Structure 1
Amino acid sequence: MVTTGALIHADAHRFLKYHEAEHPIALQLGGSDPSELAHCAKLGEKYGYDEINLNIGCPSDRVQNGMIGAILMGHKQIVADAVKQMKDASDVPVVVKHRIGIDDFDSEAFLFDFVDHVAKAGCDTFVVHARKAILQGLSPKENREVPPLNYQRVYDLKKEFSNLNIIINGGIETTEQCHEHLKYCDGVMLGRKAYHDPRLLMQVDHEFYGDSEPDVDQIVRDAIAQVKQYIQSEEIPIKYITRHMLGLFSSVKGAKQYRRHLSEYAPQCGNRIDVLCDALRFVGY
């Protein structure tokens, strides 16, 4: 997520640039001023993003103080106004990501009313984290784990709004679970599991879209080539890339040594690719 303030008052290019290989790619915005969100949606369109995602799910104190994230579920008109202005400013699809409720406002009626109001402003796709957010007393990490999951509430939302695209999110860790959720919803979003164990994503195109099974060796070669290209063109330390690659071999023999090598040596290596190549040898590459 990037806030509207960061894009408007800081170096927007720093936040908006990405590698072409990342398409299709979504820009997730945090903000509450409809005109500012519209301006940033237009920036997202200029940079070629495929989707603009409005975050109404983040529960942290810092974003609450700026009227950003889950707190906006209690201000449906602001969200509706933001969606309308974002859609008016850009031709990129606008999606809203939210919780099933906040604090004591976690009834089915509250959720349905929120979605109905925002849908009438022009949003037809909702990504629903199947937990409510507790805005006072829980940390962001606890808000991802403590409030109980309620997948049935999301299923019921889809029944009520059959004309909308309802994508379910929260606590989903296997492709088997994805298949089950797809019986009731239009899509599944994988979050933390995909980040901590990205090899799970290697199954998706084959299992859900009928593509050929992935060539792991080719994936590794492509990853090395892209990292090399990026650190050379952007002139940034490789540690900022490899810290996001620590989970890449979580279920493979040698993964512990791979992670240890990157964690210990990447901070010392500037933008040299050899630290990644050396680490990959522990997992057979």
Structure 2
Amino acid sequence: MIKKAVAILYKKEPSELIKFIFFYIIRRNPHQAKSFSHLKYFLKEKIGFEIGGPSAVFMKNGIFPVYQIADRIDNCNFRSKTIWEGNIKDGQTFFFNLKKAPGRQFFSEATDLDVIESDSYDFILSSHVLEHCANPILALSEWTRLLKENGLLIIFLPRKDHTFDHRRPITTMEHLISDFITNIREDDLTHMPEILALHDLELDHAAGDFDSFKSRSLQNFENRCFHHHVFDTELIAKLVDYMHLQIIALEIIPPIHLLIVAKKISKELIDNSIYTFK
């Protein structure tokens, strides 16, 4: 962390330093999610899988510090080099907790995890990933497939009113279903005109000016930076209900997080009526 801060100072990029401080210091010491105290006993010494980690929210001082109590966590990123993590090696290289053996690092699409057997994990983690997926229902289908019976799906999403998406409309459930039915792939740029028109560059300093942002967006399949979809609590609750998962917790965590926790159980036992509007 110190090396990265020094490198930013050397390049004399104050906006990047501010962003670094926000993500690596402020977000590493937030208020803990209310649901974590109730769920940590079900997660302790269990085996999990994270999509797109490592994530500050799951670290020792994070909102949902599951890294500290899990027995092992494996991880998947879409490629071996990302904007967020730089170069990543496959194999036993996912260091979620330095006091424990590293988990397995995979490279695969979040919507296509065929390299992993079904019913393999006690819990699935995802922090600010689903909004980057062009086909969220396909992604959740894969994530749910990896879960054992009674396993937990733990997802963080951005609150649009406190991010660069605040001008954009909330995606509809009908739209997400249509994307699934038509088998939208991760190279889709359907939302790009809306993103270019409504994205608040003042809240996304890393994107640069408009021309730089447009160029980056055209290469979204390589960098996965833009948000295909915009969520609120009602949409994520409807989506999880559509996936036939039992909602365990749904929290707004200021300033920028939505958190939903859901359980994989028999469809006949599911009742999400207090969370959803059918």
Instruction: Provide TM-score, normalisation by structure 2.
Output: 0.30
User: Which of structures 1 and 2 has the larger relative contact order (alpha carbons within 8 angstroms, sep 6+)?
Assistant: 2
Structure ranking higher in strand proportion: 2
